[in-house]
């Protein structure tokens, strides 16, 4: 494995024992230039990695904040190509690991081998395909592996033990443990005992564990300090942008990131 391919692993290894922040941004919201600036600000704030979403018309795992951000970006013509381009622009100086979050349709429409190789060339470190199980479209998983992309998988409170084993076999980089069922940015849903689920995952894998869905402020973040290796926060950052998309978005995003990171320190 090359040094580039190990960027996610290196980031977690360098901060072993500390809980980090993985912010989510929708590419192109409010603009591609603003996305780039926000990525740079998040690196400056001390994020562990960045998750960047390809705008999609039917983001079934995402709540209204990210859906609206996707609609905004798609109206401006932002898709997979533009998302990879902004990652490439970030890579000219940025060293933070970048995970692209998407759905199967944009990848299949573009061609899985083309998407994987172009993502790697742009400087993407990992991919999270929310609606692609590990036993479907095997050519996609082969393409990700061939390109040296880490494949992040989602483990939910309702995932059965047998299914968890299969997901962990497919997982690379880190495990994305859902704090609850449902969509991003909303409360409720089945949660179960999160510390117990994380402890069980640790018995089954040596990969870092990031927790997402339902974490939006420093108080909620602090509850996972020392429990998870990272938290993933998305809807809260999109709400920060939505306060005034045309003015001060990068500053608000950086300020929220700093507050969350301070709560995890």
Cα–Cα distance, 117 to 87 (Å, whole number) = 14
Contact call for residues 154 and 209 (beta carbons, < 8 A): no
What length does the chain have?
265
Cα–Cα distance, 140 to 131 (Å, whole number) = 13
Give me the residue label for tokens 């927790």. 211
Q: Which of 13, 58, 62, 220 is catalytic?
A: 62
Instruction: Indicate the SS3 state at residue 262.
Output: helix
- The H helix count followed by the E strand count for the chain is 12, 9
Q: Which of 51, 118, 150, 229 is catalytic?
A: 51
Contact call for residues 108 and 78 (beta carbons, < 8 A): no
What kind and span of H or E run contains 128?
strand 126-129
Angle between helices 80-91 and 32-45 (to 10 degrees): 40
Give catalytic status of residue 51 as yes or no. Answer: yes
Cα–Cα distance, 255 to 249 (Å, whole number) = 10
Cα–Cα distance, 176 to 13 (Å, whole number) = 17
Point out the residues that are catalytic: 51, 62
């Amino acid at each position: 494995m090359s040094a580039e391919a190990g960027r996610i692993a290196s980031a977690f290894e360098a901060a072993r024992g500390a809980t980090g922040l993985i912010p989510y941004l929708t590419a192109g919201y409010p603009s591609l230039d603003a996305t780039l600036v926000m990525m740079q600000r998040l690196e400056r704030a001390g994020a562990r990695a960045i998750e960047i979403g390809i705008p999609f018309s039917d983001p079934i795992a995402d709540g209204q904040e990210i859906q609206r951000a996707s609609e905004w970006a798609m109206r401006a013509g932002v898709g997979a190509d533009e998302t990879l381009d902004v990652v490439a622009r970030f890579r000219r100086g940025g060293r933070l690991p970048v995970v692209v979050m998407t759905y199967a349709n944009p990848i299949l429409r573009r061609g899985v081998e083309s998407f994987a190789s172009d993502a790697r060339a742009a400087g993407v470190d990992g991919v999270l395909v929310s609606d692609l199980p590990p036993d479907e479209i095997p050519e996609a998983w082969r393409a990700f592996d061939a390109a040296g992309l880490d494949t992040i998988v989602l483990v939910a409170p309702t995932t059965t033990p047998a299914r968890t084993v299969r997901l962990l076999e497919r997982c690379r980089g880190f495990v994305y443990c859902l704090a609850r069922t449902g969509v991003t940015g909303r409360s409720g849903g089945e949660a179960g005992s999160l510390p117990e689920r994380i402890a069980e995952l640790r018995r089954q894998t040596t990969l870092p564990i990031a927790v997402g869905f339902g974490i939006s402020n420093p108080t909620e973040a602090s509850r996972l300090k020392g429990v998870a290796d990272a938290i993933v926060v998305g809807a809260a950052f999109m709400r920060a942008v939505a306060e005034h998309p045309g003015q001060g978005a990068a500053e608000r995003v950086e300020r929220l990131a700093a507050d969350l990171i301070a709560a995890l320190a």
